[in-house]
Amino acid sequence: VFIHEAFGHLSEADHIEDNPQAREMMTLGRRFGPEFLNVIDDGSVKPDIRGTIDYDDEGVPAQKTYLIKEGVLVGRLHSRETAGKMGEKPTGNARAQDFSFPPIVRMTNTAIEAGPHPADQIFDGIKEGVYAIDAYGGQTELENFSFSAGYGYMIRDGKIAELVRDVVLQGNLFQTLANIEQIGDDFVWDRAGGYCGKGGQRAKTSEGSPHIRIRDVIIAGV
């Protein structure tokens, strides 16, 4: 949910094509995180999960699009219209809720790919931290984000400790990505997925991620 809400929407080209501030922030070639950070949107995931499609609603085949590769911004999500305006290629992300709506740029299955770090060692060396699990949802304002975890645990001296609730993570997207210390090797898709709202339309989406270790995130509610 973090990568969907905080980064995915900024990668939708219709958000940035007419917004100079957003376009400057999302300049291709800009380094956003460590070399082991890779972010994708993939509507072609098989077996099917919630956001899987064969073609988008403009007839473009679903495909895997790298948004961040080895820590660097390398792509964004397009319809035929936004791709033409920005001199780039369509990515199969033009989607409509149904026949009564026009297609707009939407995510499909968005994920942080597996990293090189053993998941069972992610907590090692953490004197005090929070292990956030699941999510109720989130919101963004350009590069600033806030989302609520379903629940969490304190981490004390590298071990899971007491249960905590009302965990809210806040911060600046770019600083948070830069503060990623480890990405686990235990990637999994959320096969249940959900709906994403935009422009008065709903679209089926899903997210995937391994465990991720981030320093200096603002945490409220604990």
DSSP codes of every residue in the chain: -HIIIIIIGGGBHHHHTT-HHHHHHT-TT-B-S-TT--EEEETT-SS--TT--SB-TTSPBP-EEEEEETTEE---B--HHHHHHHT----S-EE-SSTTS--EE---EEEEPP-SB-GGGTTTT-SEEEEEES-SEEEEETTEEEEE-SEEEEEETTEEEEEE---EEEEEHHHHHHTEEEEBS--EE-SS-EEEEETTEEEEEEEEE--EEESS-EEE--
pLDDT exceeds cutoff 90 at 180: yes
How far is it, in rounded angstroms, from Cα 46 to Cα 125?
37
pLDDT reported for residue 157: 97
Chain centroid to CA 61: 21
Q: Which two tokens stand for residue 197?
A: 């709202």
39 neighbors 111 (Cβ within 8 angstroms)? yes
Counting beta carbons within 10 angstroms of the beta carbon of residue 36, is it exposed (0 to 12), middle (13 to 18) or buried (19 or more)?
middle
Mean pLDDT of the chain: 93
Q: What is the pTM of this model?
A: 0.93
| Mean pLDDT confidence for 153-175 | 92
pLDDT reported for residue 92: 98
| Mean pLDDT confidence for 112-127 | 97
Confidence band, pLDDT 50/70/90 cuts, at residue 222: low
